[in-house]
């Protein structure tokens, strides 16, 4: 920070929500109002509509989104993923982490303020309910200090009941993402004894959500969330974050409309602090606790307008743009990072698009050597597992690609893989013994659905040792 910025940096030695004795300082942020809060309300309404609506959307009778961890079955945007697709998940996860890192370097914690479920639920659902029942921040503080009279008991109990009900709805939705909406419905249409597991999970999730939004609150962002902790290494002086323009604001001082103002534009009204849900003073500079919720931007704009000064004293800006009074620019570094992000997204899309509908593994049965037959043929015994990642039964044929031979199943001689399921079995591969040159021959097998080749698999064929 520059010379005319705040010199006292003792705020960095403590968490804003914990006092000297280590006790929690409860936050009673004032209700934000302004264009950014309105924009966030609209954005989060759409977000919540999607969150609560997605489990109900079914295409051809199948969910669009399902994260069935117990059965290890995942449906994302109508596509079935099995544990065998873990490499796509792994690459997707790595790409996502790189994406988040690059995005944060360029655009700061925009995600935290606008799209993080914790912020959305806390600020856009539970906080709004609290304002409705207990009043604005000042009223809440008064109520917290008031003795337990009938008014306080009524308000608190009402809040707890509503919080519990909302937590219950969130828990139901969460369970629908994990188990499917049908499983959740069973809890209400079938005897409880049949759905004890679902009931226990639902109760645990409801309790956890209730605890998080009633008690834990901003501590999730300021103390627990690992993403918040990484800001120190992700942000640099060109990152766009919620920033106080100390060049313009300092030296701060009270506003007096009868005097010609000789101080900076900050009128030291502390409105930006009063609305902050994490209890920090944005005028101290970038802080890990800041979730970029924009409440201080709205509060400051309101004060600036009230005293006839330019808005934007607290705004989205980079440290460099504030220090050098430059307009924000989409720099080459940002362009390069954005290009890398686009490439990474492209790689992920490519992986998803080229992913086969069928997953097949063919392994030689352990402990089995080759079998020699009288007509100059040899055979190996194999175990196979075939996965169908679609909602239609699939009949496939296996065709020898780089060898002369025959593939024969044990039992029925066709491979039918049930929809959204798998089949396992054993099969023989027969080869002309003249073709076997080594102890181990690598075989390539084409997988066909009708006339369409959908995949190629490789396995090995074990023959007799032909060394010197
Ligand atoms: S400093 Fe401003 S943007 Fe950051 S958390 Fe507080 S109110 Fe939100
Ligand atoms: S709201 Fe604006 S004017 Fe008031 S203290 Fe904060 S930065 Fe200064």
CA of 224 to the centre of ligand 2 (A): 29
CA-to-CA dists, residue 270 to 266, 300, 303, 342, angstroms: 9, 9, 10, 41
Of all helices (H) and strands (E), which one includes residue 422? strand 422-432
Report which protein residue has its CA nearest ligand 1's atom 4: 290
- Count the domains in the chain: 1
Any domain includes 86: no
Distance of alpha carbon 219 from alpha carbon 18, whole angstroms: 10
Any domain includes 332: no
- What pLDDT digit, counting tens, does each position of 184-195 carry? 999 999 999 999
Q: Which atom of ligand 1 is nearest to the CA of 294?
A: 3
pLDDT of 276 reads: 97
Question: Phi and psi for 42 in degrees, rounded to 5?
Answer: -65, -45
- What pLDDT digit, counting tens, does each position of 2-38 carry? 444 445 677 777 778 888 888 899 999 999 999 999 9
- What is the best residue among 271, 282, 302 to mutate for testing ligand 2's pocket, by most ligand atoms within 8 Å of CB? 271
The residue with tokens 């909302």 is 166
**Helix boundaries (H) for 212-357:** 219, 226-229, 231-234, 246-249, 271-274, 295-306, 319-323, 332-353
- What pLDDT digit, counting tens, does each position of 301-356 carry? 999 999 999 999 999 999 888 998 777 677 777 788 778 878 878 888 888 777 78
pLDDT of 4 reads: 44
Any domain includes 391: yes
Q: Which domain holds residue 438?
A: 358-462
Any domain includes 155: no
pLDDT along the chain (468 residues), means of 10: 54 78 92 96 97 90 83 79 78 79 84 94 97 97 96 97 98 94 92 92 96 96 87 82 94 90 94 96 91 96 96 93 80 78 82 82 86 89 89 88 86 78 90 85 90 89 74
Assess whether the C-beta atom of 315 lies below 6 angstroms from ligand 2: no
Any domain includes 389: yes
- The token pair at 159 is 């809040």
CA of 295 to the centre of ligand 1 (A): 6
Assess whether the C-beta atom of 95 lies below 6 angstroms from ligand 2: no
- The token pair at 255 is 């506003």
Any domain includes 139: no
Question: Phi and psi for 384 in degrees, rounded to 5?
Answer: -125, 155
Nearest to 181 by CA among 162, 163, 198, 200: 198
Q: What is the CATH number of the domain that holds 365?
A: 2.60.40.10
Any domain includes 435: yes
CA of 302 to the centre of ligand 2 (A): 10
Assess whether the C-beta atom of 300 lies below 6 angstroms from ligand 2: yes
Assess whether the C-beta atom of 280 lies below 6 angstroms from ligand 2: no
Any domain includes 376: yes
- The token pair at 299 is 């509060």
Report which protein residue has its CA nearest ligand 2's atom 3: 266
State the pTM of this model: 0.81
């Amino acid at each position: 920070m520059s010379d005319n910025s705040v010199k006292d940096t003792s705020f960095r030695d403590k968490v804003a929500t914990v006092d000297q004795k280590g006790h929690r300082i409860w936050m009673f942020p004032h209700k934000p109002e302004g264009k950014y809060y309105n924009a966030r309300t609209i954005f989060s309404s759409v977000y919540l509509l999607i969150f609560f609506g997605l489990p109900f959307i079914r295409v051809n009778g199948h969910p669009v989104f399902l994260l069935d961890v117990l059965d290890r079955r995942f449906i994302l945007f109508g596509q079935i993923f099995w544990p065998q697709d873990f490499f796509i998940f792994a690459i997707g996860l790595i790409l996502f982490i790189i994406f988040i890192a690059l995005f944060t370097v360029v655009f700061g914690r925009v995600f935290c303020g606008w799209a993080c479920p914790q912020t959305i639920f806390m600020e856009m659902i539970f906080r709004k309910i609290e304002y409705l029942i207990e009043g604005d921040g000042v009223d809440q503080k008064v109520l917290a200090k008031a003795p337990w009279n009938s008014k306080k008991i009524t308000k608190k109990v009402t809040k707890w009941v509503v919080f519990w009900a909302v937590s219950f709805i969130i828990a139901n939705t969460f369970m629908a993402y994990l188990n499917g909406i049908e499983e959740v419905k069973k809890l209400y249409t079938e005897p409880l004894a049949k759905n004890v597991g679902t009931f226990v999970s639902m109760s645990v999730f409801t309790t956890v959500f209730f605890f998080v939004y009633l008690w834990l609150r901003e501590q999730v962002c300021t103390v627990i969330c690992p993403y918040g902790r990484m800001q120190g290494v992700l942000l640099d002086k060109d990152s766009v974050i919620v920033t106080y323009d100390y060049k313009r604001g300092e030296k701060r001082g009270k506003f007096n409309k009868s005097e010609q103002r000789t101080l900076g534009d900050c009128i030291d009204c502390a409105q930006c602090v009063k609305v902050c849900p994490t209890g920090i003073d944005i005028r101290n500079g970038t802080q890990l606790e800041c979730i970029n919720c924009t409440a201080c931007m709205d509060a400051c704009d309101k004060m600036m307008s009230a005293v006839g000064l330019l808005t934007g004293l607290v705004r989205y800006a980079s440290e460099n743009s504030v220090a050098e009074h430059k307009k924000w620019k989409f720099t080459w570094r940002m362009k390069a990072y954005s290009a890398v992000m686009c490439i990474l997204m492209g790689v992920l899309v490519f992986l998803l698009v080229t992913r086969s509908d069928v997953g097949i593994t063919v392994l030689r049965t352990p402990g089995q050597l080759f079998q020699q037959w009288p007509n100059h043929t040899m055979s190996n015994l194999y175990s196979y597992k075939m996965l169908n990642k679609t909602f239609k039964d699939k009949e496939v044929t296996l065709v020898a690609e780089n060898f002369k031979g025959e593939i024969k199943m044990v039992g029925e001689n066709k491979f039918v893989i049930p929809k959204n399921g798998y089949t396992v079995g054993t099969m023989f591969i027969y080869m002309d013994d003249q073709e076997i040159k080594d102890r181990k021959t690598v075989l390539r097998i084409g997988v066909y659905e009708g006339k369409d080749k959908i995949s190629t698999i490789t396995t090995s064929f074990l023959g007799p040792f032909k060394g010197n």
